[in-house]
Amino acid sequence: MLDLVIRGGTVATACDVVRCDVGIREGRIAMLGEGLGEAARTIDAEGKVVTPGGIDSHCHIEQLSASGIRNADTFETATRSAALGGTTTVIPFACQHKGMDLFDVVRDYHGLAERGAIIDYALHLIVTEPTERLLSEQLPRLVSDGHGSIKLFMTYDAMRLHDEEVLDVLSAARGLGAMVCVHAENHGMITWMVRRLLDRGYAAPKFHAVSHPRLGEAEAIQRLIAMAELVDQPIMIFHVSTAEGAATIRAARGRGVKVWGETCPQYLFLTVAELDRPDGAKWCCSPPPRTEADQDALWQALERGDLSTVTSDHAPFAYDETGKLRAGPSPTFKEIPNGMPGLEARMPLMFDAIVSSGRMALTDFVRITATAPAEIYNLADRKGSIAVGKDADVVVWDAGRRVTLSDDKVSDAAGYTAYAGRTVTGWPEVVVRRGEVIVEDGTLHAAPGSGRFLPRSGGRAAAPTGRLAPELDPAKNFGAELG
């Protein structure tokens, strides 16, 4: 007998949309079809849309941020909000700050996640001090323990790596078959702009956006791609915000470089105008929201596949003295911690914009929010689709339900949503995680600590192309391996 049947829904994967029942046994999808037989429980999905649970592959949870304060959420509050928004897997970070031992860092984040996570999780490793020991001893151990992706920053004083250090990590990752994800912005341009703006008294939140020149994003992406090409290491460019950034990725992909790009709802739905509001600090994130023309370009890039995923980059800070206003009620833009909440809103915003508005197909929604991140981060053997044998992570959508997002409805610890007042059509009514109904009627039915760690290697996406730059190709040069 089956444990659960989701009956009569329109079931979508990244390839197909079919009307069928989904049969679940022991946490996995056991059958797809009609008349699946007896089940301990049946959910009536007649007239509903059934998709894989969302995978949010870029979110900061209970993390010590670049600004030195911890994100507002714990694993419990963050993953609770994720589940209520239709996300069943997250990939947050184990974040090394300078002076920290990476083994200790990873152990600590595992402790936090084991205690609090309500949905399943993997971890990216943030590296800020790529010492010889970290590169040759710690990364190999941690990658083989199931942390198949590394994240680097090209900006933020506290986090950034210089180009030589970036190359060291890219080269080490190549040997380990790990994916490298990067926050790519030109650090010098930002610090130079910040200094000039503050010196002249331009300190309001809206000048945060001015201090992150769009040229700085395209330049850093281009430089990073060149470094990745030199050592033949696949990369993921996080939170692409500009038309030029997306075009740079498109050009590199066109010549066969293994580079992926993601964008986020804040770049698809918001503009720089938000930062000019009296509470503009809420929208200070890096890179900042840009223009409507950038929004159009990013949507086109998603449609063409130049960008592959849309993640939340959830980086929550409360709008009070513990977070956004920790430097006082009128901080300079430089004193405002960067980031905004988004785990809960990501799936409904994307369902509304892709499916309800008819901008793209239902299959595109599934690809962008679940299947592509599963493939890129090597979780596709378990996650990211509705197929026999996969974990039964499933969302039943009421495609016609209209919901107006508002601060009093959010369930994370930031206490506000960047999308207050926006009405979306389509809402995750039932959320199933490994066969258990964890959200129903807007209520969570899962305990903190019930989420599981998802060990993974870098997988196929992270495998080098085999095309080293001529300068590093032993056959073309010295007969010795420099990579």
Structure tokens at 223: 């430089």
Choose the contact partner of 51 out of Zn ion, ligand URP, none; CB within 5 to 8 A by kind.
none
Structure tokens at 278: 């009296």
Choose between 63 and 233: whose C-beta lies nearer to ligand URP: 63
Whether the Cβ atoms of residue 314 and residue 59 lie closer than 8 Å to each other = yes
> Distances from the Cα of 303 to the Cαs of 125, 319, 384, in angstroms?
30, 35, 19
CB 24 → ligand URP: shortest distance, Å? Answer: 35
Query: Does 285 engage in binding with ligand URP (CB under 6 A)?
Result: yes
β 2-12/17-25 pair status: antiparallel
Binders of Zn ion among residues 270 to 329 (CB under 5 A) are 313
Q: What is the CA radius of gyration of the chain?
A: 22
Of the candidates 22, 18, 11, the residue with the CA atom closest to the CA atom of residue 435: 22
Instruction: Identify the bridge partners of residue 181 per DSSP, sorted by sequence position.
Output: 151, 236
E strand spans, 352-474: 394-404, 423-433, 436-440, 443-444
Choose the contact partner of 285 out of ligand URP, Zn ion, none; CB within 5 to 8 A by kind.
ligand URP
How many Å apart are CA 316 and CA 338, to the nearest integer? 9
483: number of Cβ within 10 Å: 17
Choose between 119 and 284: whose C-beta lies nearer to ligand URP: 284
CB 333 → ligand URP: shortest distance, Å? Answer: 12
Structure tokens at 387: 């197929």
Structure tokens at 262: 């993601």
CB 315 → Zn ion: shortest distance, Å? Answer: 6
CB 414 → ligand URP: shortest distance, Å? Answer: 12
Structure tokens at 456: 């993974």
Query: Does 185 engage in binding with Zn ion (CB under 5 A)?
Result: no
Choose between 14 and 246: whose C-beta lies nearer to ligand URP: 246
Q: Is the dihedral of CA 122, 127, 131, 132 positive or negative?
A: positive
DSSP string covering 233-266:
--EEE----SHHHHHHHHHHHHTT--EEEEE-HH
Q: By rule CB under 6 A, what string of x and - marks binding of each residue 173-212 to ligand URP?
A: ----------x-----------------------------
Angle between helices 163-176 and 214-231 (to 10 degrees): 50
Query: Does 183 engage in binding with Zn ion (CB under 5 A)?
Result: yes
Q: By rule CB under 5 A, what string of x and - marks binding of each residue 81-120 to Zn ion?
A: ----------------------------------------
Q: By rule CB under 6 A, what string of x and - marks binding of each residue 57-76 to ligand URP?
A: ---x----------------
Choose the contact partner of 338 out of Zn ion, ligand URP, none; CB within 5 to 8 A by kind.
ligand URP
Choose between 8 and 287: whose C-beta lies nearer to ligand URP: 287
Q: By rule CB under 6 A, what string of x and - marks binding of each residue 330-359 to ligand URP?
A: --------xx--------------------
Query: Does 286 engage in binding with ligand URP (CB under 6 A)?
Result: yes
β 309-310/394-404 pair status: unpaired
Binders of ligand URP among residues 77 to 116 (CB under 6 A) are none
CB 58 → ligand URP: shortest distance, Å? Answer: 7
CB 73 → ligand URP: shortest distance, Å? Answer: 13
**Residue 193 identity:** M
Binders of ligand URP among residues 297 to 326 (CB under 6 A) are 313, 315
Output the CA torsion 282→125→348→245 (10° steps): 70
How many Å apart are CA 21 and CA 10, to the nearest integer? 9
Choose the contact partner of 211 out of ligand URP, Zn ion, none; CB within 5 to 8 A by kind.
none
Binding site for Zn ion (CB under 5 A): 183, 313
Task: Give the footprint of ligand URP on this chain (CB under 6 A).
Answer: 60, 183, 285-286, 313, 315, 338-339
